Structure 1
Amino acid sequence: MAQDRVEAVERALTVLEAFDVDQEAFTLAELAQATGYYKSTLLRLLGSLARFDYVQRSHDGRWSLGSTPLRLARRHPPSRQLTTRVQPLLDRLAAETGETAALLENHGPQVECRLVALPEAALRHELRPGSQWPLAAGNDPRPELPGGKMLLQALPSAPGEPTRWLALSGPSSRLDARSEAALKAALAELTAVAETEAMT
């Protein structure tokens, strides 16, 4: 019904819809072209969205999605189930190895950190949920880590699901065969839990 519409809200939602493409960050001019709004109008809308972390502005002036959409998406039943199953395992893996444990997910040309557990070590790979970086050649999801290293184990995926990886990352000197074994054990545990849930 027409009286139920709030124009400012619909404009803000239109801006958010513009981010639903493979491109990760946009200039103000690109957003103006995508939405049809004047730049002055866009700046007001983006300012409000940024205050609630729906969008973020980088140092080069480009706009990208903030962490709030990802946080809300985790309330969706499939994401909630994934978090419930994986996060405790990541917490334990980080505590046992002293390294950053994460769940990575492929989104087209991008890799996104879905879940993470940080160790207490002062020297560690600082990774946050929602962090994104380009998928490297050969579909390698590892980011550039000068002086660091990331170990990976791919998770089994059903048709239509994105590719996901369990990851351990930290200083190259600390990641060894024991770290690799811990990561493989975590994958085996997660796979066994998923298979058990599928049979019940």
Structure 2
Amino acid sequence: MAQDRVEAVERALTVLEAFDVDQETFTLAELAQATGYYKSTLLRLLGSLARFDYVQRSRDGRWSLGSAPLRLARRHPPSRHLTTRVQPLLDRLAAETGETAALLENHGGLVECRLVALPDAALRHELRPGSQWPLAASEDPRPELPGGDMLLQALPCVPGEPRRWLTLSGPASRLDRNSEAALRAARDELTAVSEVEAMA
């Protein structure tokens, strides 16, 4: 109904909708073309959205989505369900291998550590949930780890969801065939659970 509309809110949401394309960053001119708004209007809207971290402005003046949309998306029931299934598996994997176990997600040109379990070891890969780094040109999600390495197993792709990997990381000298076997077993266990849930 017309009386339920708040024009400023709808304008802000229109700006956010402009980011729902393959392009990751936008100039002010590109956003103006996508939304039909004057640049002066856009700057005010973007300023408000940036204060709540819905958008971010880089040093070169280009705009991208901030972390708030992703944070809210994690409150969606399927996302919470993923945490319930994966975190206990990561905890067990870290305890069994003595290495850092993690779930990585691909978001455009970035890889994010979604979940992590740290081993009880003095020498370990200190990885934290929310850590991000650029996705390599080869689409290899592993970060640079001087003196260390990261093993990974890709999880089956689900339409509409980001690519995900289970990983083990730590000193390169400790990652061996047993580590690889444990990671593969964890991947297979998680995949089997997902398939059973899909048929339920």
TM-score range, shorter chain: 0.7 to 0.9
Indicate yes or no: 2:150 matched with 1:119.
no
Sort the Cα spacing of 1:69 and 1:160 in 2 relative to 1 into closer, same or farther, 3 A. closer
Matches within 5 A, 1:184-199: 184-198=184-198
Please report how far the alpha carbon of residue 124 of structure 1 lies from its aligned counterpart in structure 2 after TM superposition.
Answer: 3.0
Mean Cα deviation higher: 31-40 or 167-176: 167-176
Matches within 5 A, 1:128-139: 128-129=129-130, 131=132, 133-134=134-135, 136-137=137-138
Q: How many pairs were matched up?
A: 196
Please report how far the alpha carbon of residue 128 of structure 1 lies from its aligned counterpart in structure 2 after TM superposition.
Answer: 4.3
Sort the Cα spacing of 1:23 and 1:171 in 2 relative to 1 into closer, same or farther, 3 A. farther
**Residue 103 of structure 1 aligns with which residue?**
104
**Residue 62 of structure 2 aligns with which residue?**
62
Specify the SS of the correspondent of 1:21. Answer: coil
**Residue 145 of structure 1 aligns with which residue?**
144
Please report how far the alpha carbon of residue 20 of structure 1 lies from its aligned counterpart in structure 2 after TM superposition.
Answer: 0.7
Equivalent residue letter for 1:103: L
Mean Cα deviation higher: 11-20 or 76-85: 76-85
**Residue 74 of structure 1 aligns with which residue?**
74
Contact 1:102–1:168, Cα closer than 8 Å, also in 2:
no
Please report how far the alpha carbon of residue 6 of structure 1 lies from its aligned counterpart in structure 2 after TM superposition.
Answer: 0.8
Q: Distance in 1 between matches of 2:159 and 2:42?
A: 39
Q: Deviations over 1:5-42 (max 9, x none)?
A: 11111111111111111111222232222222233322
Sort the Cα spacing of 1:17 and 1:198 in 2 relative to 1 into closer, same or farther, 3 A. closer
Q: Deviations over 1:43-64 (max 9, x none)?
A: 2212221222212223333222
Specify the SS of the correspondent of 1:116. Answer: strand
Q: Identical aligned pairs, as a percentage?
A: 69
Q: Deviations over 1:79-125 (max 9, x none)?
A: 232222123323443455332512324x6x64643722153768635
Q: Distance in 2 between matches of 1:57 and 1:151?
A: 34
Sort the Cα spacing of 1:75 and 1:91 in 2 relative to 1 into closer, same or farther, 3 A. same
Q: Give the unaligned 5+ runs of structure 2.
A: none
Q: Distance in 1 between matches of 2:123 and 2:162?
A: 33
Equivalent residue letter for 2:114: L
Sort the Cα spacing of 1:43 and 1:124 in 2 relative to 1 into closer, same or farther, 3 A. farther
Q: Distance in 2 between matches of 1:144 and 1:198?
A: 32
Equivalent residue letter for 1:177: R
Q: Distance in 2 between matches of 1:167 and 1:117?
A: 9
Q: Distance in 1 between matches of 2:95 and 2:55?
A: 32
Q: Deviations over 1:134-185 (max 9, x none)?
A: 4633xx4324515253321122346776543212344544533343233122
**Residue 47 of structure 1 aligns with which residue?**
47
Alpha-carbon RMSD across the aligned residues, in angstroms, is: 3.2
Q: Distance in 2 between matches of 1:74 and 1:169?
A: 25
Sort the Cα spacing of 1:18 and 1:158 in 2 relative to 1 into closer, same or farther, 3 A. closer
TM-score (norm 1): 0.76
Q: Give the unaligned 5+ runs of structure 1.
A: none
Contact 1:113–1:129, Cα closer than 8 Å, also in 2:
yes
Contact 2:101–2:116, Cα closer than 8 Å, also in 1:
yes
